[in-house]
Structure 1
Amino acid sequence: MPVFHWIILALWLVFIVYWAISALRAKRSVRGAVWWRHLIVRLVIAMLIIVAVQVPAIRHALQAATHQGPGNMLAQALGTLLVALGIGFALAARIHIGRNWGMPMSRKEEPELVTGGPYALVRHPIYTGILTALLGSVIGYGLVWLPVLLLSAPYFIYSARREEALMREQFPERYPAYMQRTKMLLPFVL
């Protein structure tokens, strides 16, 4: 396996371990969406990915795309850079939001509206970072990551819209003003 593939996998492992540990310090949720619904959505996404890669034509195409030759070292390096930048951005956002982080659409005790740091660039920098890292994984590792990206993007957009409805409810004056000065996922674009 090429060194860039190992680096990409290591970056994802660091991300997952940090996420699991830092989740233990989040503020307690007061009320939120029913947790099992989100778990079901995530399980369905995982199952769709597993089913997709079991279809022979898809599996063969993904395997062929993953076997990159030496001419693709630039793509592997660029992809690895995008993974590092995306995971770094998501982790910076997670650190900046601190104990206010929670599962999507959950309501926290004593909520605070965080608009600084990465949140000054986009309203959902964690989603932006993860999507950037997934795109980098597709470019640097191979198309085997494409189903994950294609199924995660709609889920993150759905979650972002739901979270924004909750935030407008919790911060009726401040959140709409924040929405006016920042984009949802891509600075200056979306």
Structure 2
Amino acid sequence: MPVAHWIIIAFWLVFIVYWGLSALSAKRSVRGTAWWRHMVIRLAIAALIMISVQIPAIRHALQAALSERTGSLLVQVIGASLVALGISFAIAARVSIGRNWGMPMSRKEDPELVTGGPYAYVRHPIYTSILTALLGSVIGYGVIWLPPLLISLAYFIYSARREEALMCEQFPTQYPAYMQRTKMLLPFVL
């Protein structure tokens, strides 16, 4: 396995460990989607991936992708760099939001509207960061990362829209103004 692949995996492991540990200090949720609904959504996504892998055409494409030759060193470096950028930006956003972080579509005790740090550029920098890291994984590791990228993109857009409706309820004057000056996922674009 090329070194770039190990680097990509290492960045994802750092992300998972950091995310798990930092979740312990988040404010208590007072209302929102029940934890079991989040689990059901994640299990449904995993089931869809497993079912799709059983479709002969998809299985054949994945087998071909797994056996494909590794891209050039430059492509691997670009991919690993995007993963590093995405994971670093996600951690910076998580640090910036602090104890206000929570599961998607949940409400926190004594919420604060965070608009500084990475949140000054996009309203959902964690989603942007994870998508960037997934794109880097596709480029630097292989197309095996494409299904998680596409599924995450769809889920994050859905989740962002739901979260924005909740934020408009919680912060009826500040959040619409914040929406006017920032983009949802891509600075200056989307």
Superposition TM-score tier, normalisation by shorter sequence: over 0.9
Aligned to 1:188: 188
Specify the SS of the correspondent of 1:41: helix
- Report if the CA contact (8 A) 1:76-1:140 is conserved: yes
Deviations 1:32-88 (A, max 9, x none): 122222211111111212222333332332232244546522211111111111111
Alpha-carbon distance in structure 2 between the residues aligned to 1:138 and 1:29: 34
Question: Is 1:152 equivalent to 2:144 in the alignment?
Answer: no
- Report if the CA contact (8 A) 1:4-1:80 is conserved: yes
User: What is the letter of the counterpart of residue 177 of structure 2?
Assistant: A
TM-score norm. by structure 2 comes to 0.95
Alpha-carbon distance in structure 2 between the residues aligned to 1:70 and 1:14: 24
TM-score norm. by structure 1 comes to 0.95
Alpha-carbon distance in structure 2 between the residues aligned to 1:42 and 1:70: 30
Aligned to 2:26: 26
Matches within 5 A, 1:160-175: 160-175=160-175
Moved more, 7-16 or 29-38: 29-38
- Report if the CA contact (8 A) 1:66-1:141 is conserved: no
Aligned to 2:58: 58
Query: Sequence identity of aligned pairs in percent?
Result: 76
- Report if the CA contact (8 A) 2:8-2:80 is conserved: yes
What is the Cα-based RMSD across aligned positions, in Å?
1.3
In structure 2, relative to structure 1, the CA distance for the partners of 1:83 and 1:2 (3 Å cut) is same
Alpha-carbon distance in structure 1 between the residues aligned to 2:68 and 2:41: 33
Moved over 6 A (4+): none
Question: Is 1:136 equivalent to 2:136 in the alignment?
Answer: yes
Specify the SS of the correspondent of 1:27: coil
Segments of 5+ residues of structure 1 without an aligned counterpart are none
In structure 2, relative to structure 1, the CA distance for the partners of 1:109 and 1:69 (3 Å cut) is same
Specify the SS of the correspondent of 1:30: strand
User: What is the letter of the counterpart of residue 50 of structure 1?
Assistant: M
User: What is the letter of the counterpart of residue 189 of structure 1?
Assistant: V
- Report if the CA contact (8 A) 1:63-1:144 is conserved: no
- Report if the CA contact (8 A) 1:100-1:112 is conserved: yes
